[in-house]
Amino acid sequence: MKALTDVLKESSQLVLETGQWILAQSSQFTSSDIMYKGTNDLVSFVDQQAEAKLKQGLSAIFPEAAFIAEETSSNYEEVGEGYYWVIDPLDGTTNFLHKLPVFAVSVGLILNKQPILGLIYEPNRDELFTAVKGHGAHLNGKPIQVSPEDSLSKSLLATGFPYYDFSYQDRYLDLLKELMRSSHGLRRMGAAAIDLAYTACGRFEGFFEANLKPWDVAAGKIIIEEAGGMVTNFSGGQDVIFTGEIIGAGPIFSEFLGTLQSKWFD
């Protein structure tokens, strides 16, 4: 079996090519190309073709892995042990469709339901974030670390807003009120992969979001961890990929998690 560092090298080129193809499509895309999977859940031929490109290429690079992919996987709850590629071909689809240049390709490799390799490519800035378990995290080949800031009051945080499941909206708004008072502020980029990558390289001190899917977080989790940060679900457990909850940060993690839990589980 191929070494994971070799898998990363080969898959990096594939992800770069796919991201550049997506970027080229953005200038030609029109509102008539938008399709709906559900309420505020948008998709396009760009997502679908990008996913097909990734699956074909990754199958050749590391055929031992099966796939969990946004546009073709509806039964990920039944995923077992072993290797799986976890793919979001275009994270930030709504941004892309509205020509807001904040979107990314996100590819993770998991083993026994935990990520061991991750790539996030933001083509608008030509930034490729990568990590392999035990080998650190990198941005365009250079090592990255989470922010050294250890105070929540001096931190810039990222999150995502509920957009189709509003059952936890009140708890979420209570938490936002608290974090607005106790931090430098909050940002909502509209692409969880970018939020996670930016946390890994220290642009954000922390990120949290609920109601996410495996392809939203698989790559970002390993990248933050390899950059020296911590990532858990809202209860503090390691099961992040399949619970839909994620909180990640550097030294502020304990204070950040405690603040979240005081509002979320109140």
| CA gyration radius, the chain | 17
Binding site annotation covers 70? yes
Taking a C-beta distance cutoff of 8 angstroms, is the pair 110, 116 a contact? yes
41 assigned binding-site residue: no
CA–CA gap between residue 153 and residue 194 (Å, rounded): 23
Q: Which residues of 47-69 are buried (b: 16+ CB within 10 A; e: fewer)?
A: bbbbbebbbebbeebbeebebbb
Joined tokens for residue 149: 């800031």
Of the candidates 173, 217, 218, which has an alpha carbon nearest to the alpha carbon of residue 191?
A: 217
Instruction: Say whether 91 counts as a known binding-site residue.
Output: yes
Among 236, 233, 227, smallest CA distance to 209 is for 233
- Check the annotation: does 88 bind a ligand: yes
Q: Rounded to an integer, what is the distance from CA 123 to the centroid of its chain?
A: 15
Q: What are phi and psi of 133, to 5 degrees?
A: -55, 125
Residues annotated within the binding site for Mg(2+) are 70, 88, 90-91, 216
Residues annotated within the binding site are 70, 88, 90-91, 216
